[in-house]
């Protein structure tokens, strides 16, 4: 039985949100919706939020649009932003990997790299329109996945 967390040492659950910063929000939202099949559930002029697998949220922010504190009815969100190509990985099933490869090919999206991991997982790598490196990964790349 796992140890219970001590009151002075709480544990984190999971990563809830991941944010990418993009130059053209409409173009990026179309890519994540049309190519990756993600469903947006809220957006405005500065961001778009996508459901990822019913358990995580991908936030796309227009670069430079969150440099000021955002005031909401329930509080404030401090400034944030990012530059340069970032990396995120999406979990996919082994059975679906070939379907993803076909979908990307049909959309004209090149696969930039491939890796076969020692624990048996497979990854393919592609770029979004802003140059972020996206990984589609099957189970077996980490001890926890």
Q: Is the pLDDT of residue 8 over 90?
A: no
| Model pTM score | 0.90
Q: Is the pLDDT of residue 3 over 90?
A: no
Share of the chain above pLDDT 90, in %: 91
User: Residues 120, 97: contact at Cβ < 8 Å?
Assistant: no
Domains plus CATH for the chain?
1-83 (3.10.180.10), 84-145 (3.10.180.10)
Identify the pLDDT of residue 51: 98
For 36-42, which contacts have Cβ atoms below 8 Å and span 24 or more sequence positions? 36/90, 36/134
């Amino acid at each position: 039985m796992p140890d219970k967390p001590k009151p002075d040492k709480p544990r984190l659950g999971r990563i809830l949100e991941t944010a990418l910063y993009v130059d053209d929000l409409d173009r990026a939202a179309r890519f994540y919706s049309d190519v990756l099949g993600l469903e947006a559930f809220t957006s405005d002029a500065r961001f778009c939020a996508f459901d990822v697998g019913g358990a995580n949220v991908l936030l796309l922010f227009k670069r430079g649009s969150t440099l000021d504190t955002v005031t909401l009815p329930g509080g404030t969100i401090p400034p944030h932003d990012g530059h340069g190509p970032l990396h995120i990985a999406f979990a996919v099933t082994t059975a679906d990997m070939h379907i993803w490869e076909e979908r990307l090919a049909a959309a004209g999206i090149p696969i930039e790299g491939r890796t076969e991991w020692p624990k048996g997982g497979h990854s393919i790598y592609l770029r979004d329109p802003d140059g972020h490196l996206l990984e589609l990964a099957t189970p077996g790349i980490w001890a926890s996945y």
